[in-house]
């Protein structure tokens, strides 16, 4: 895995300027915005929003944001109508002329809601525990839970899952445990679903570009090997299937700025 090459923006600009199309996909938390203590504080910088908007309004370019966040929360935070949004790790997808909700996940919505309510009732008894209900999942944040309370939190979680029925999987993220329906779906399959539809919508040969910082993005990096340019965000040295690595959100912003400038300029010329 290499450090991101400075030639990528110019290369993408030349590609789009020459009539090719571009699908740019990115994670949200830890990629477009820094990881923060309270997920509610993860606000998108205006400069990044403008770069995404400029790219999405360029003919032949589509932009998608794929996140573990609830679809509506994600759409409100980014607030660029032209974008494609994928929430709950791709279980829900929405965008211009695009709509998808995984049927197997929909079938478990009542069970997910029951688990969410049980966790909300248990949260007041564990200091620092925060429950984030979603339409097709629920996130349990424990960043502010003391070490002594972690075991109790896991007990509450296990009890809630056992009592409420349904088939679930747990995803461990940055100080968060996400409860999702047990379905064969992830960010990688979501990225392919979006790519396949964009290949129909966009007539020209297409380059796919994907950025993400989380281990769940590795599903996309792996499934897109040989099919996309992929970038892992973060300073860690853990193995990754991504083609390139950049150090953090500041470098993501610079990269997006350079890509947007090159693509918009070449397309207009």
9 and 78 in a single domain? The answer is yes
72 and 98 in a single domain? The answer is yes
Task: Give how many domains the chain has, as a whole number.
Answer: 2
191 and 173 in a single domain? The answer is no
98 and 211 in a single domain? The answer is yes
127 and 216 in a single domain? The answer is no
191 and 263 in a single domain? The answer is yes
Residue 133 is part of which domain span?
105-181
Q: Would you give per-residue pLDDT tens digits along the chain (269 residues)?
A: 677 667 899 999 999 999 999 999 999 999 999 988 888 889 999 999 999 999 999 999 999 999 999 999 999 999 999 999 999 999 999 999 999 999 999 999 999 999 999 999 988 889 999 999 999 999 999 999 998 889 999 888 988 888 776 689 999 988 899 999 999 999 999 999 999 999 999 978 999 999 999 999 999 999 999 999 999 999 877 889 999 999 999 999 999 999 999 999 888 76
176 and 229 in a single domain? The answer is no
Residue 248, classed as helix, strand or coil, is coil
The span from the CA of 211 to the CA of 65, in Å, is 10
15 and 96 in a single domain? The answer is yes
User: Domain boundary residue among 165, 181, 197?
Assistant: 181
Indicate which residues carry an active-site annotation: 27
User: Domain boundary residue among 155, 181, 207?
Assistant: 181
Burial class (CB in 10 A: 0-12, 13-18, 19+), 258: middle
């Amino acid at each position: 895995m290499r450090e991101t090459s400075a030639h990528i923006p110019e290369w993408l600009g030349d590609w789009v300027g020459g009539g090719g199309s571009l699908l740019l996909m990115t994670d949200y938390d830890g990629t477009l915005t820094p990881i923060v203590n309270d997920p509610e504080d993860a606000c998108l910088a205006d400069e990044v929003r403008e770069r995404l908007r400029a790219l999405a309004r360029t003919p032949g370019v589509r932009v998608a944001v794929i996140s573990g966040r609830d679809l509506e929360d994600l759409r409100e935070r980014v607030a660029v109508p032209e974008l494609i949004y994928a929430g709950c790790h791709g279980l829900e997808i929405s965008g211009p002329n695009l709509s998808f909700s995984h049927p197997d996940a929909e079938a478990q919505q009542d069970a997910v809601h029951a688990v969410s309510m049980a966790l909300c009732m248990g949260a007041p008894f564990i200091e620092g525990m925060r429950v984030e209900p979603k339409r097709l999942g629920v996130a349990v944040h424990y960043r502010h839970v003391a070490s002594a309370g972690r075991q109790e939190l896991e007990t509450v979680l296990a009890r809630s899952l056992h009592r409420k029925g349904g088939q679930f999987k747990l995803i461990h993220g940055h100080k968060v445990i996400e409860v999702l329906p047990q379905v064969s779906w992830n960010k990688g399959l979501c990225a392919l679903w979006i790519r396949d539809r964009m290949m129909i919508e966009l007539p020209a040969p297409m380059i796919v570009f994907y950025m993400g910082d989380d281990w769940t993005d590795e599903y996309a990096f792996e499934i897109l090997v040989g099919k996309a340019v992929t970038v892992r965000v973060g300073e860690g040295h853990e193995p990754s299937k991504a083609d390139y690595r950049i150090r953090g959100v500041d470098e993501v912003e610079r990269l997006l700025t350079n890509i947007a400038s090159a693509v918009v300029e070449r397309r207009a010329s």
